[in-house]
Structure 1
Amino acid sequence: MTTLVVCLDRTDDVGATTGIQTPVAGWEAVQALVTDVGLADPEDASVNSILEALRITRELRDDGENAVVAVVSGTPDSMVTADRTVAGQLDDLVAEYDPDSAIVVTDSAEDERLVPIVESRVPVDSVDRVVVRQARDLESTYYLMKQFLADEELRQTTLVPLGTALLVFPALAVFAGPAVAAATIATVIGLFLLYKGLGVDELLARAARQAQNALYSGQVSVVTYVVAAGLTLVGVFAGALGISAQPETEGVLLPVMRFAYDAVPWLAMAALTASTGRLLDEVLRDDGIRTSYLNLPFVALAVALVVRGFSAYFLEEAGTLGPLEIPRLELGVLTVEPFVLEAGQRLALYVVSGVVVSLIGVRIAAYLGGGDFPGVDLEAAPDGGDGTADRDGDAESETG
């Protein structure tokens, strides 16, 4: 009965250290190998695993068994190549020594993944993982810190903010007190963690790249986006003025409704401007316009009408906004006398107007998306849109 005591090295640490080709089999050859590995790199864990394989082999021989010790290695290129290399070396050992069983010696969890390859060729009686007796927690911490300090991105995102906080804290503690200093540092660290955790830096980088590409490509939407941003600021300012002019009231509902009532027209114009610029870019690019781009301005206007209607309803019910007065209208022979819309009637008018605008947008988008419109995707038949030209052409070909 022959037992193969095999030491596994998946990433070829032995070959990288000594330059010796594996497999290495036999007592004398393995003894010479462990000496070479130990002299080349005494800190290499492979030294301990090879010595453990030799110890097991000696014990088996002392018990009267026929034991063969061997060292097999993979390659550092890829895991698939490493596994196939180990499989080939094991086939050579099995063909030469014809073992009845095997004892596997490893020094890491990575090497233990090779155990199924050994089991597929010879029964495995035992797996011995060598763990060096030392301060393993301390060693792990040391190597983690070493790897951390070697990563430039981690240093910049962790050590730089931490060092800045440690420098700023004493100055704040001297001039503003320890409590203010601690609160300030905690707030800054919290904002930084949210900034990184929510991926705000990636969003800003992506927005900067998109803006740069838009500027270089000469898109109309660049100008319209700037105008939309200005209109948005005007809307926010108008809403803030509306809140400041409103009498002080308890709660936040009425101030919010006042802000919405005064800001929505400007915000709607901002949305229409931005969507129009995007639509023009699609038309000029002549790559086809999606239906969503055609429908977006109408959706923005419809939402603005509905929001303004509800905000006006709440304000009028609270007595801070008067009813809507419609002046006298003369349309040719038709004359409309002046009348007043109460809160419910005004709300109904705004909601119905929003729904009508939305339906008009859907209808226009569907019409332009299926008709002969420059730059719009045509989903109909390629000739004439209804297949008439195709049928006529087929008829003429049959007649001819």
Structure 2
Amino acid sequence: MSSLVVCIDRGAVVAGTAGETPVVGERAVRSLVTAVGLDDPENSRVNCLLEGLRLTRERRDEGEEPVLAVVSAPDESVDSDRAIARQIDDLLADHPVESAVVVTDNAADERLVHVIESRVRVDGVSRVVVRQARDLESTYYLLKQFLADEQLRATVLVPVGLFLLALPILVAVQNVTVALATIASVAGLFLLYKGLGVDAALAVLAGGVRDGLYTGRVSIVTTVVAAGLALVGIVAGVISATPLAAETSALTTAMAFLFDSVPWLAIAALTASVGRALDEWLRNARVGNAALNLPFVVVAVAFVVRGFAAYFLERADVIEPLTVPPMALGIVSVQEFAITSDIRLVAFVVAGVCISLLGVGVAARLGDRLAVESSAESS
């Protein structure tokens, strides 16, 4: 049984390389594959010709007598289709076959199948689809996995959809500039929210608060109180620094903010640290050295920061020098005198260092005593 394996080329690729069509025979087609591939390695016609060679080999292995041929035309016009029809007629005249298999590399060439089918029985059509590059395939599968992941869809597609819905509404209410600025700001906040892991931190915080409420932790209450005190301190600092912003330097304004806010912030930190220490004592019947030392560190830092803030403010004539009122202790009397800014700074720094050292000593002694008592009770 003889059959025809015909490769269709519309575009003058084969005709321009071979010079004369149809090209008949496996040896001639192999030479044509090499020539076309060397001229343009990215041309899909090379794969079409190779598919023709593969089908010819398969049919020969099945006991048939295949005839491989390549027909070509310069373009997709009617005259080109008639030229291909004449080439098919010549092939059938020279090689009487009973059936044919058509090989193409695109849907446009398949329109010529009916031309061939009107002259010989067509058993099949093989369209060669070239595999995409690895990067493109990887991108496709990554997109497929992305669309299958519910969490990723909610993280990416939902915000994009909301932005696209909000854009026309904002454009209708405001102008385009305001709409784009709003969208960009919200997008930036969302990226920072995800990039900095704020969502994870909030989830951990919410879980800690929930567990604290269920277990009755004292630190929950003290933390809320500390947050309120810190807010009071920030407001007090802003109120104190605002009148100076237009009259003095940025450094003086910052020092004014610290001078009035540090006491409140220190009390807030003390409240939170005491709550943490109480929780640790209630949970473990002992308090670690770090929890015992933390209140002293807070007070020491507050003294040092307030001392430096007072020094700069006094040098800038924002606050008055510290004045000691007159005192009388028996036969000893002290007249009123003012403490200079340098002595005031040294006094605050020395006080901070002493408080810090006192905290280290208290934490070491009390921590060791609590540890001994805890071990004695456990034994």
Amino acid at match of 1:285: R
Provide the rounded CA distance (Å) in 1 between the counterparts of 2:196 and 2:245: 39
Tell me how far 1:338 sits from its aligned partner. 3.1
Q: Partner of 2:6 in structure 1? A: none
Give 3-state SS (helix, strand or coil) of 1:260's partner: helix
Q: Deviations over 1:72-128 (max 9, x none)?
A: xxxxxxxxxxxxxxxxxxxxxxxxxxxxxxxxxxxxxxxxxxxxxxxxxxxxxxxxx
Q: Deviations over 1:36-95 (max 9, x none)?
A: xxxxxxxxxxxxxxxxxxx9xx9xxx9xxxxxxxxxxxxxxxxxxxxxxxxxxxxxxxxx
Distance 1:366 1:140, change over 3 A: closer
Q: Partner of 2:303 in structure 1? A: 305
2:364 aligned to 360, 366, 372, which one? 366
Distance 1:308 1:175, change over 3 A: same
Tell me how far 1:307 sits from its aligned partner. 0.5
Provide the rounded CA distance (Å) in 2 between the counterparts of 1:169 and 1:198: 26
Q: Deviations over 1:296-326 (max 9, x none)?
A: 0000000001000001111111111110112
Amino acid at match of 1:135: Q
Tell me how far 1:142 sits from its aligned partner. 3.4
Provide the rounded CA distance (Å) in 1 between the counterparts of 2:329 and 2:159: 69
Q: Partner of 1:201 in structure 2? A: 199
Following superposition of structure 1 onto structure 2, how do residues 38-53 of structure 1 map, counting pairs within 5 Å?
none
**Radius of gyration: which is bigger?**
2
Tell me how far 1:229 sits from its aligned partner. 0.6
- Segment drifting more, 328-337 vs 275-284: 328-337
Distance 1:224 1:135, change over 3 A: same
Amino acid at match of 1:377: A
Provide the rounded CA distance (Å) in 2 between the counterparts of 1:238 and 1:134: 70
Tell me how far 1:165 sits from its aligned partner. 0.7
Tell me how far 1:215 sits from its aligned partner. 0.9
Tell me how far 1:188 sits from its aligned partner. 1.1
Amino acid at match of 2:131: Q
Q: Partner of 2:181 in structure 1? A: 183
Q: Partner of 2:225 in structure 1? A: 227
What are structure 2's unaligned runs of at least 5 residues?
1-53, 62-128
Q: Percent identity?
A: 54
Give 3-state SS (helix, strand or coil) of 1:135's partner: coil
Distance 1:312 1:134, change over 3 A: same
Distance 1:365 1:332, change over 3 A: farther
Following superposition of structure 1 onto structure 2, how do residues 1-400 of structure 1 map, counting pairs within 5 Å?
133-136=130-133, 139-246=137-244, 248-329=246-327, 336-371=334-369, 376-378=370-372
> Does the 8 Å contact 2:300/2:352 carry over to 1?
yes
Give 3-state SS (helix, strand or coil) of 2:342's partner: helix
Tell me how far 1:241 sits from its aligned partner. 0.9
Provide the rounded CA distance (Å) in 1 between the counterparts of 2:367 and 2:334: 38
Tell me how far 1:145 sits from its aligned partner. 2.1
> Does the 8 Å contact 2:245/2:253 carry over to 1?
no
Tell me how far 1:248 sits from its aligned partner. 2.4
Give 3-state SS (helix, strand or coil) of 2:146's partner: helix
Tell me how far 1:244 sits from its aligned partner. 2.5
Provide the rounded CA distance (Å) in 2 between the counterparts of 1:247 and 1:209: 41
Tell me how far 1:147 sits from its aligned partner. 1.3
Provide the rounded CA distance (Å) in 2 between the counterparts of 1:298 and 1:338: 32
Runs (4+) of structure 1 exceeding 6 A deviation are 331-334
Distance 1:247 1:276, change over 3 A: same
Q: Deviations over 1:329-375 (max 9, x none)?
A: 4667765543211111111111011011101101111111222xxxx
> Does the 8 Å contact 2:218/2:275 carry over to 1?
yes
Provide the rounded CA distance (Å) in 1 between the counterparts of 2:331 and 2:153: 79
Provide the rounded CA distance (Å) in 2 between the counterparts of 1:256 and 1:174: 43
Give 3-state SS (helix, strand or coil) of 2:365's partner: helix
Provide the rounded CA distance (Å) in 2 between the counterparts of 1:332 and 1:207: 59
Tell me how far 1:176 sits from its aligned partner. 2.2
Tell me how far 1:133 sits from its aligned partner. 3.5
Provide the rounded CA distance (Å) in 1 between the counterparts of 2:284 and 2:333: 46
When the two structures are superposed, what TM-score results if normalisation uses the length of structure 2? Answer: 0.61
Give 3-state SS (helix, strand or coil) of 1:320's partner: coil
Provide the rounded CA distance (Å) in 2 between the counterparts of 1:298 and 1:261: 19
Give 3-state SS (helix, strand or coil) of 2:323's partner: strand
Provide the rounded CA distance (Å) in 2 between the counterparts of 1:333 and 1:202: 67
Amino acid at match of 1:259: F
Provide the rounded CA distance (Å) in 2 between the counterparts of 1:353 and 1:255: 25
Q: Deviations over 1:163-220 (max 9, x none)?
A: 1111111222233222222222112111111111111100000011111111111111
Amino acid at match of 1:151: D
When the two structures are superposed, what TM-score results if normalisation uses the length of structure 1? Answer: 0.58
In the alignment of these two chains, the number of paired residues is 251
- Segment drifting more, 136-145 vs 187-196: 136-145
Provide the rounded CA distance (Å) in 1 between the counterparts of 2:173 and 2:242: 36
Amino acid at match of 2:164: L
Provide the rounded CA distance (Å) in 2 between the counterparts of 1:214 and 1:240: 33
- Segment drifting more, 138-147 vs 248-257: 138-147
Give 3-state SS (helix, strand or coil) of 1:377's partner: helix
